[in-house]
Structure 1
Amino acid sequence: MPGYWRSAVQKILALSESPQRVALGVALGLALDFLPVPVISIPLAYLLARILRFSPAAAVVTVVFFKWAVPLFFTLDYMVGRLLLGAGAASGQPVWQGMPNTGHLHPQYWLNWLGHLGRPFILGAVLNASLVFILSYALTYRFLKCRQRSKPRKKLRLSPHRPNPVNHKARL
């Protein structure tokens, strides 16, 4: 995993776009992984980033990198939604015990599961995606700005064999 992490971070840091666009792309990609759009999240990240003028590369790299965590994100979405709607609190059972068995990988099972979860899952997904977008944008932007400031800037020097570009005769 560390090599995978390093590779993703290096790809994002190598982008020549502004820190704001890159941070917005990262935030968009991470937020999309919290929403129930698992099949189309990669092209959706690219298209939304292009439309909103975020960094498409940063959005796609982030969506792809965090695919391994989507089941965890979906579980968190459901738990947050149930907590906000009060489900589970009244019955006295822990929130995760109310989740259906997620052992099947058939797409129809997941569609039925999403239909069963309904409001708690969608509410948690929208809330978590919004919070993650804001937090990941702020943290990524701050990191990129600090990194940009710490990099030494190259000084622009005129070489001795080139004449000065200012035309002195034009001023006289």
Structure 2
Amino acid sequence: MSIKGRLKKYYTRVMDIPDAPVKVARGAAIGLAIDFMPVPIIGIPIAYVIARVVGGNGLAAALTATFFKWTVPFLYMLNIATGSLVMGIEEYDHAMPVMKSATLTPADWINYLSQFGYPFMVGAVINSILAWLLLYYGVRKLMMTRQKRKGIIAK
């Protein structure tokens, strides 16, 4: 199935969830926000539980977290870039010579990669908040418009 077909299928599945637009939007936004965090295997159940605890739709959270798993490498790089920008760290200028160096020991590699810890987490928090806001208001508006058109809620 093409990317366009998958997007359409995901959109239809989320929009057809029989719940209040605010709850579905909250769940979907939590699902995407969790994908920015470094919880690779347990992100889907975590998204479900958080959505249920804060009054969102757990199914929407799980669907969104599952659907956007393919974007995680991009999201992680975005986290590092955002965090480095906010913290004023310019790691990319000398990252390539370090990566090409064959004389580094495993301890040197671990030390180098651990430098991305704080920028990654700062970027993850910022990007999660922004993604949550964008998806929450976008899905909420789309669901309300769709439900008004179908006559489910009053105009």
The TM-score range, normalised by the shorter chain, is 0.7 to 0.9
Structure with larger Rg: 1
Partner of 2:107: none
Closer, same or farther in 2 for the Cα pair 1:96/1:44, shift >3 Å?
farther
What is the Cα deviation at residue 116 of structure 1?
3.5
Partner of 1:70: 72
Partner of 1:79: 81
Q: In the aligned structure 2, how far is the partner of 1:58 from the partner of 1:141?
A: 12
Q: In the aligned structure 1, how far is the partner of 2:118 from the partner of 2:97?
A: 14
Partner of 1:165: none
Query: Which is helix-richer, 1 or 2?
Result: 2
Contact in 2 for aligned 1:27/1:134 (Cα 8 Å): yes
Q: Aligned residues, how many?
A: 142
One-letter code aligned to 2:88? G
Secondary structure of the residue aligned to 1:83 is helix
User: Segments of 4+ in structure 1 off by > 6 A?
Assistant: 98-101, 111-114
Q: Could you state the TM-score of these two structures normalised by the residue count of structure 2?
A: 0.81
What is the Cα deviation at residue 149 of structure 1?
1.3
Partner of 1:48: 50
Deviations along 1:14-69, one digit per CA (max 9) or x if unpaired, are 11000000000110001001111111101101111111120011000000000000
Question: C-alpha root-mean-square deviation of aligned residues, in Å?
Answer: 2.7
Contact in 2 for aligned 1:27/1:59 (Cα 8 Å): yes
Identity of counterpart residues, as a percentage? Answer: 35
